[in-house]
């Protein structure tokens, strides 16, 4: 390459990298950007089954089965009809306690002093006396195992100062979780006007609670004790003994609400949530929840999906690196059993991209189909940032080329 050719390349690079210079000399417009991606296809596949009733002999008013990992509803009966939840309310109480523990505003060994209000709670309780002290861990255990109303109020007061203020936080958190048909009046589930929720909303807060691994240490307890062994705790959730893999979660009963439960169970790498509201008796409550969980484990599966091979790097125009690697995508799909035989995958990538490039950019899509239906679309992103070439970079490269060609 001769000297004149190198000079021409250098000045062409300057014109490309400096819009002001290009405009001043009337240079040709910069090259067209690489063709963009088409809009990602809409997900159309759903494993939800509604043409089968897994609990045909159950008279419960509302019921719902949800996959805990994906939040996918697998089956439901009147999921959005408002009903009284009784002590299943305490799923939200326990969620706020777990979040306070994670944030450090509560400590597990922190002593909580029972107020007059907490000690006056009726229904299920551990008979806290005014001024009695217990740790947060002990009170959370009392809520999870025996549904202690007094323990729930004591924890709410420890977090927010008063039960009223704590209930405000419960309703705020419900709104954040998309619990559109829920309104809490207390943190216990004791009967109160306009204290209402739905099977769907209960599943949403139950799923959020299960994100906190520590809660299973409490909701999976069958028997324990408080006050140095003098007060026995026996779980209200009989599924812990009768259902393989049961991890919780919360039972409830009042004469108005009927027998209720949000039940969770894990088998291998899958966890399901079964919500039952308004059962005629405790036996029907547990039998219905078990039937829903059995049906869910038998008819659905989680399948990991990834590209068949490595993804080629994408060329980068005007970048400090000539190309950029693409993050390897993966997805876990919830499928109806048998649908895994129809899985196909497709990679859609930009032919090139222009610097600067960031790891937040979308450079393609990983598309998963079940038959003709789109089951998942995963954005593809660069594995690293690539800065744009500047004047200094171009000038240094020019000098290197000049020296290597003249001497």
pLDDT tens digits, residue range 138-184?
999 999 999 999 999 999 999 999 999 999 999 999 999 999 999 99
All residues at 6 or more sequence positions from 72 whose CB lies less than 8 Å from its CB, including other chains: 46, 47, 48, 66, 334
Q: What does the pLDDT look like over 210-235, one tens digit per residue?
A: 999 999 999 999 999 999 999 999 99
End residue of a domain, out of 240, 264, 299: 299
In a domain, 292, yes or no: yes
Q: What does the pLDDT look like over 246-284, one tens digit per residue?
A: 999 999 999 999 999 999 999 988 999 999 999 999 999
In a domain, 336, yes or no: yes
Position 76 scores a pLDDT of 96
End residue of a domain, out of 277, 299, 321: 299
Q: Averaged over 314-324, what is the pLDDT?
A: 94
Position 30 scores a pLDDT of 38
393 and 327 in a common domain: yes
316 and 282 in a common domain: no
In a domain, 23, yes or no: no
Position 26 scores a pLDDT of 39
Angle between helices 391-406 and 3-17 (to 10 degrees): 170
211 and 108 in a common domain: yes
279 and 170 in a common domain: yes
Q: What does the pLDDT look like over 363-403, one tens digit per residue?
A: 999 999 999 999 999 999 999 999 998 866 666 666 666 66
For the ranges 4-8, 81-85, 135-139, the lowest mean pLDDT is seen at 4-8
More confidently predicted of 33 and 28: 28
Q: Are strands 314-317 and 353-354 parallel, antiparallel or unpaired?
A: parallel
- Distance (Å, rounded) from C-alpha 270 to C-alpha 154? 34
215 and 321 in a common domain: no
349 and 281 in a common domain: no
187 and 93 in a common domain: yes
In a domain, 52, yes or no: no
Domain CATH code at residue 329: 2.60.410.10
SS (H, E, C) the chain: CCHHHHHHHHHHHHHHHCHHHHHHHCCCCCCCCCCCCCCCCCCCCCCCCCCCCCCCCCCCCEEEEEECCCCCEEEEECCCCCECCHHHHHHHHHHHHHHHHHHCCCCCCCEEECCHHHHCCCCCCCCCCCCCEEEHHHHHHHHHHHCCHHHHHHHHHHHHCCHHHHHHHHHHHHHHCCCCCCECCCCCCCCCCCCEECHHHHHHHHHHHHCCHHHHHHHCCCEEEECCCCEEEECCCCHHHHCCCEEEEEEEEECCCEEEEEEEEEECCEEEEEEEEEECCHHHHHHHHHHHHHHHHHHEEEEEECCCCCCCCEEEECECCCEECECCCCEEEEEECCHHHHEEEEEEECCCEECCECCCCCCEEEEEEECCEEEEEEEECECCCECECCHHHHHHHHHHHHHHHHC
Q: What does the pLDDT look like over 6-23, one tens digit per residue?
A: 555 455 455 444 443 333
- Distance (Å, rounded) from C-alpha 364 to C-alpha 379? 6
- Distance (Å, rounded) from C-alpha 155 to C-alpha 140? 8
Pick the closest to residue 270 from 47, 63, 67 (CA basis).
67
Position 34 scores a pLDDT of 37
End residue of a domain, out of 273, 299, 325: 299
By annotation, the residues acting in catalysis are: 87, 90, 147
Mean pLDDT, rounded, of the chain: 90
Domain CATH code at residue 238: 3.40.710.10
224 and 368 in a common domain: no
Position 11 scores a pLDDT of 53
For the ranges 80-84, 145-149, 277-281, 300-304, the lowest mean pLDDT is seen at 300-304
Buried b (16+ CB within 10 A) or exposed e, 137-154: bbbbbbbbbbbbbbbbbb
Position 194 scores a pLDDT of 98
Banded pLDDT at 31 (limits 50, 70, 90): very low
pTM given for the model: 0.84
Angle at 246 between CA 242 and CA 251, to 5 degrees: 85
371 and 284 in a common domain: no
Pick the closest to residue 209 from 259, 287, 144 (CA basis).
144
CA atoms within 13 A on the CB side of 317: 14
Q: Which domain holds residue 195?
A: 62-299
Banded pLDDT at 33 (limits 50, 70, 90): very low
Q: Averaged over 49-53, what is the pLDDT?
A: 85
Position 156 scores a pLDDT of 98
Q: Which residue has the tokens 């000049």?
A: 402
Banded pLDDT at 27 (limits 50, 70, 90): very low
In a domain, 56, yes or no: no
328 and 267 in a common domain: no
290 and 340 in a common domain: no
354 and 264 in a common domain: no
In a domain, 193, yes or no: yes
The number of domains in the chain is: 2
């Amino acid at each position: 390459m001769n000297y004149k050719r190198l000079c021409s390349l250098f000045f062409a690079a300057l014109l490309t990298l400096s819009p002001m210079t290009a405009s001043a000399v009337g240079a040709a417009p910069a090259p067209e950007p690489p063709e963009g991606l088409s809009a990602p296809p809409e997900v159309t596949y759903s494993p939800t089954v509604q043409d089968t009733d897994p609990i045909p002999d159950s008279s419960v008013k509302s019921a719902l089965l949800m996959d805990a990992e994906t939040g996918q509803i697998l089956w439901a009966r009147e999921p959005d009809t408002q009903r009284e939840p009784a002590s299943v309310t305490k799923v939200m109480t326990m969620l706020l306690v777990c979040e306070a523990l994670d944030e450090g505003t509560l400590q597990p060994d922190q002593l909580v002093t029972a107020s007059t209000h907490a000690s006056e709670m009726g229904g299920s309780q551990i008979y806290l006396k005014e001024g009695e002290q217990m740790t947060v861990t002990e009170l959370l255990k009392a809520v999870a195992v025996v549904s202690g109303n007094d323990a729930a109020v004591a924890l709410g007061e420890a977090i927010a100062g008063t039960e009223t203020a704590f209930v405000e936080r419960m309703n705020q958190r419900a709104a954040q979780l998309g619990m559109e048909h829920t309104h809490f009046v207390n943190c216990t589930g004791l009967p109160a006007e306009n204290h209402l929720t739905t099977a769907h909303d209960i599943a949403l807060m139950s799923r959020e609670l299960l994100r906190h691994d520590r809660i299973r240490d409490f909701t999976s307890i069958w028997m324990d004790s408080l006050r140095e062994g003098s007060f026995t705790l026996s779980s209200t959730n009989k599924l812990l003994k009768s259902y393989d893999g049961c991890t919780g979660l919360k039972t409830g009963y009042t004469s108005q609400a009927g027998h209720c439960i949000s039940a969770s169970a894990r088998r291998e790498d899958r966890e399901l949530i079964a919500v039952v509201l308004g059962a005629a008796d405790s036996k029907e409550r547990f039998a219905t929840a078990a039937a829903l969980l059995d049906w869910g484990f038998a008819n659905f599966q989680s399948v990991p999906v990834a590209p068949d091979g490595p993804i080629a790097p994408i060329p980068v125009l005007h970048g400090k690196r000539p190309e950029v690697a693409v993050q390897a995508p993966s997805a876990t799909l919830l499928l109806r059993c048998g649908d895994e035989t129809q899985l196909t995958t497709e990679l859609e990538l930009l032919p090139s991209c222009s610097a600067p490039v960031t790891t937040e950019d979308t450079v393609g899509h990983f598309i998963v189909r079940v038959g003709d239906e789109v089951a998942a679309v995963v954005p593809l992103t660069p594995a690293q940032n690539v800065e744009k070439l500047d004047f200094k970079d171009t000038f240094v490269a020019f000098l290197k080329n000049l020296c290597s060609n003249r001497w």
